[in-house]
Amino acid sequence: MDLFRLQDLPVELQRSILEVTARMDLKTALNLSLVCHQLHEWIQPLIYEMVTLGRGDVALFLRTMAMFPADFFVRYVKRLCLTVSVRPHDARTILQTCTGVSNLACWVDFMGISPASPFRHLFYPLPLRRLSIEVGHFRQLGFSECVWTGSLTCLDIVFWDQGPLVLSELRFLPSLARLSLYLSQSDVDEPSLLSILSATPTLQILVLVVEEDDLDRFEHTTRIDPRIVCMPHPPTVPDWEAPHRGLPDLWSHAEEIVDERRRAANQMQTQE
């Protein structure tokens, strides 16, 4: 039996297969980029499509940024996760360079240093479709200056501390379809949830992310509106990276729940 060889396929198909493989695992992508010049050209941009940084790897990424033309990171970094351990000064440099980011998780504590580091302008030019950010920082964004208010469809709000759920700023996001609230408080009042739902008429799913022990306590909120889903905290960084890896995440699970509710409701209407 003849052996199948990848190089016997058309070049376009070879590239597609290798790109899918590279996106599934960073280590594999790095190894593939070292095989030959052609693979290096194909794979290297994919390595930077999704960048996740903590304190331990920021220095290496900053050194890498200094070695490449600035437009490389504008063109290729599309998903960026800056964890809470990233220093505001480093986050500023990265956000000023990676201005093509469409999916951004920025959990950097700009407001926790003294004096507070101005940060709003870093978000203004980004072509965002998804944003994950702490609630206090979210409220400080200058929405009238942001170019992405009309394109943002997915928003994750993280509550580091207990606080009110009033989010009047949602009115600036006319295309918002998905909203998750990573809660720290032990209870949520119905008026706040109704206020959020009324402020976002395009919203399709509202996920309340709570501690697993609190799921039963929050279950009553799902009776307010079928779009509300309660879910336990996922592993934060792996969940953020999952869609890029072709894996299920919090949102895919929430969609399944809402879709099942709609099917059940339609079935009941048909029976009536």
Residue ranges covered by each domain of the chain: 1-47, 51-264
What pLDDT, on a 0 to 100 scale, did the predictor assign at position 140? 93
Q: Structure pTM?
A: 0.84
What pLDDT, on a 0 to 100 scale, did the predictor assign at position 113? 83
What pLDDT, on a 0 to 100 scale, did the predictor assign at position 1? 43
Q: Cβ neighbours of residue 123 under 8 Å, at least 6 residues apart?
A: 95, 106, 141, 146, 148
Give the total residue count for the chain.
Answer: 272
- Give the pLDDT confidence of 141-184 residue by residue, as tens digits: 999 999 999 999 999 999 998 877 889 999 999 999 999 999 98
Alpha-carbon span 47 to 37, nearest angstrom: 15
Q: What is the mean pLDDT of residues 77-86?
A: 95
What pLDDT, on a 0 to 100 scale, did the predictor assign at position 38? 55
The SS3 of residue 231 is strand
Angle between helical axes of 88-97 and 55-67 (0-180°, round to 10): 40
Strands 130-134 and 79-82: unpaired
Which of 85-99, 112-126, 132-146, 166-180 is least confident? 112-126
Is residue 49 scored above 80 in pLDDT?
yes
Among 3.30.450, 1.20.1440, 3.80.10, 3.30.70, name the CATH number for the domain at 51-264: 3.80.10
Alpha-carbon span 258 to 228, nearest angstrom: 8
Strands 130-134 and 154-158: parallel
Is residue 129 scored above 80 in pLDDT?
yes
Alpha-carbon span 175 to 200, nearest angstrom: 8
